[in-house]
Amino acid sequence: MTKDIKCSVSNGGISLVRRAPKRPCVSVILAAHNAGEHLTRAIESVLNQDYEDLELIVANCASSDRTASVCERFVDRDIRVEAVSVDNNSMSCGRAAACSVARGRYLLFVGQDDWLGAGFLDAMVAAAREHDAQMVIPEFSVDTEQADGSRVFATLSHESCFWDGAEAFHQGAAPFVENGVLAFAAGKLFTRECIEAMAELPDMCHNEVSFMTGCVRDLARVAVVEGARYHLLQPSTPAHAAFDPGMFARCQEDYRRLRDLYEYWGLLDDAAAMSAVHRRYLRELIRCIENVCASSNRLSASERRDRVQDMLDAAPTREAIEAVKESSHEFGIMYAPIARRSVMACFMGARIQDIVGRALLPFVSCAEARL
């Protein structure tokens, strides 16, 4: 027998559609805003898993399209599906609302445009149980939609492993920090206790990076599962993307969050460990410079120069440049102009990359799409 539950959060009302009677092992959390185009696929990929001991909680974040009707259709069809509504379009608020009513032992986060591969939940839950893991990281397929409707696929995977102990995880986390996997929640399986502990930290739901740094700061048992595939859908980047005035501020904030995490871990003076933070920052910085130089915007030439100069002079930039100088070749034609603080050379490098269409970044950051 189902029952109604009502709850509230400080920044918006939540209305729960219904409640399933049995406490599930896994609560799948899906926050959605105007996600009608891909939401059905995301939901069906969860419900069609062989693993069935789950609940799916979809948070409708003030959508103006058919997202609400899609949610209602699945709520009526499957007792495992529940829906909550928040009165703003913040995905972070939606995620928090869904978490507040989740009942599972484990919580899995799914992006509104993403989907789970066959056997995903079986593999993830098995790893969590085998190792008593607090977090399980899957294999990722980054699927990028092209302008002509085709898709380009890139797989981001690591060999299956398990870190038993905080120090082992801290040392092993570097590749996941650098390639951005620890910058977003989608695809990760967490214990309920991990999410509840994170929720007690101040200002930890501001964006994806703050959420994730809050989640992982006290972890000691983390598993990686090769073959459990989570599909991340990334839209194609237009030839001249729109200018994003807040992009560099977010880049700096993410750097600060990661730096604070490494300080909490006692690794701030460990050059090898901190290299991952610096390398990620520098790759994101290059994206910020390209956004100013090559985007379609109405900034004057002097405004563009001033913005790029501020980026080049920023303290994190100087720290990163010094930290990665032994591997500067990995950053292509942009490293030298940044190191020399040459705005004009940065403009030229960004234009060249725009013309040849050559991507220097090995992994498209997913955090931007999930704020």
Model pLDDT, residue 367: 42
Give residue 90's pLDDT band: very low, low, confident or very high (50, 70, 90).
Answer: confident
Confidence of residue 242 (pLDDT cuts 50, 70, 90): confident
* pLDDT tier for residue 368 given thresholds of 50, 70 and 90: very low
Contacts 24+ apart (CB under 8 A), 305-311: 305/343, 307/248, 308/343, 308/346, 308/347, 309/341, 309/343, 310/248, 311/248, 311/285
Winning range, highest mean pLDDT, from 55-59, 157-161, 296-300: 55-59
Report the pLDDT value the prediction gives residue 235, as an integer from 0 to 100.
Answer: 72
Residue 337 has pLDDT above 60, yes or no: yes
User: What's the mean pLDDT in 296-305?
Assistant: 86
Domain spans in the chain, listed from the N-terminal domain onward: 6-234, 247-370
Taking the C-alpha atoms of residue 32 and residue 15, their distance in angstroms, rounded to an integer, is 15
Residue recorded with tokens 């801290």: 170
Q: What is the mean pLDDT of residues 238-242?
A: 65
The amino acid present at 368, given as its one-letter code, is: E
Helices (H), 200-270: 208-216, 247-264
Structure confidence by residue, pLDDT tens digits, 22-40: 799 999 999 999 998 899 9
> What is the rounded distance in angstroms from the CA atom of residue 81 to the CA atom of residue 48?
12
Q: Mean per-residue pLDDT for 99-115?
A: 96
List all residues 6 or more positions away from 205 whose beta carbon is below 8 Å from its beta carbon. Answer: 92, 93, 95, 96, 199, 211, 214
- In the prediction, which pLDDT does 108 show? 98
What is the spatial distance between Cα 208 and Cα 359, in angstroms, rounded to a whole number? 24
Distance in angstroms (rounded) separating the CA atoms of residues 254 and 256: 5
Q: What is the mean pLDDT of the segment spanning 364-368?
A: 42
Please provide the DSSP assignment of 144-156 as one string: EE-TTS-EEEEEE
pLDDT of 207: 82
Question: Residue 328 pLDDT > 70, yes or no?
Answer: yes
Q: What is the pTM of this model?
A: 0.86
**CATH for 6-234?**
3.90.550.10
- For the chain, the distance separating the N- and C-terminal CA atoms, rounded to the nearest angstrom, is 37
Q: What is the pLDDT of residues 42-78, one digit of tens each?
A: 999 999 999 999 999 999 999 999 999 999 999 999 9
